[in-house]
Each structure stands twice: as C-alpha cells, then as structure tokens.
Structure 1
C-alpha cells in the first residue's frame, strides 16, 4: 500500500458515518489497537491478561468490569487532590521532593524555639 493510499484509507475510516447506515456497515476494532489501549489503562499484569483473554472471547463488558474498582480508586485520589488544591505551594514553604510533612513541621518548630 502506498503512503497516499494509506492516507485515503485513514480519511475513509474517520468518516464512517458517510458509508451507509449503521445496519449496512460493520465497524471493527483491530486486535492490535484493542490491546494497545487496554495496556494504557494499567493495573496488575494478572488483571490485564485476564481482560485480554475476555476481549479475545468477545466479552468486552466483562473485561471492562475488571477495571471498575481501579476507576473508582483513581477518581477518589483525584477528588482528594482537588479538595487539597487550596493548600499552599510546597516549594514556597521550603519543602523539597524528599521532605516529609513531619520533617518539615519539626524543622519549623525547632527553628522557632531557637529564635
């Protein structure tokens, strides 16, 4: 396939709505891209292999169900970050990337006692 032909194929695939009605066409997702996007989700290797097997068998809903817990965990972590967004900038308060909150607190407390 020439490069120009590949570009035309890509353009056709982007406009699938123009090719017949949904009942007249069959849209597929190739295995390579299905796996590629599955592994972008992340999680344990065991869970990814399990999901890959389910996808191969056409059980996409079951494969997706394996990741609902991960999604809720990620959502709760993002909500935690959002809730703490109003806190001060750590760099401005003298933190380094290796400083823990407790170390920083004690260093401030000790410096105030010696002043």
Structure 2
C-alpha cells in the first residue's frame, strides 16, 4: 500500500508513530510547499533549518506563520516560548494537531 501524500494524514501518521510515517513525511517534504508538511519534516530531520526556511516562505497566512514560529522556538530549544506561542495558537485554532504535538514535545525537554 502506498504512503499517503495528504498533508493532514502525513501529520496524523507521524504523531501516531505509524510504520513508515517518517520516511513518507521526508519524501513528501522534498517537493512540498505545504507549511505544515515542511514543519513536521523539520521536527524529524536533524538540522532541518532549510525546511523551516521553506515553510516560512510558503506560509501565506497568520496560522501558518504562527506554526513556523512555534516550531522554530521549539527546535532552537526555547521551550517556554514554544509553549506560550502554542497556547495562544491553540486558543484560536484548537484543531491544530501539529501545534499540540509540538507543545507536547516542548514539555518533554
């Protein structure tokens, strides 16, 4: 069965730890212009700053720009800032699984 290329499914699979999710996400990020796919791939890619740069360039709305800022803070090790930004984001966008995932990761470090 082929891996999904749907951004939401890729992110759900990553969060769930589904078999092959990391490889599928990295593959999708090679050509994707979807900010969430690029951010998710940056979370699992050592030195994924190029992916965050691409996500920032592709972000065309407040929601996407906030996602990039949250991921950037998390990946830089500024977990307090990541959590603060995530709480604010989730108050407006409670359906953002990726931001909730980043917040959970930030509390573990």
TM range (shorter): under 0.3
Higher relative contact order (CA 8 A, sep 6+): 2
Larger radius of gyration: 1
| TM-score of the pair, normalised by structure 1 | 0.25
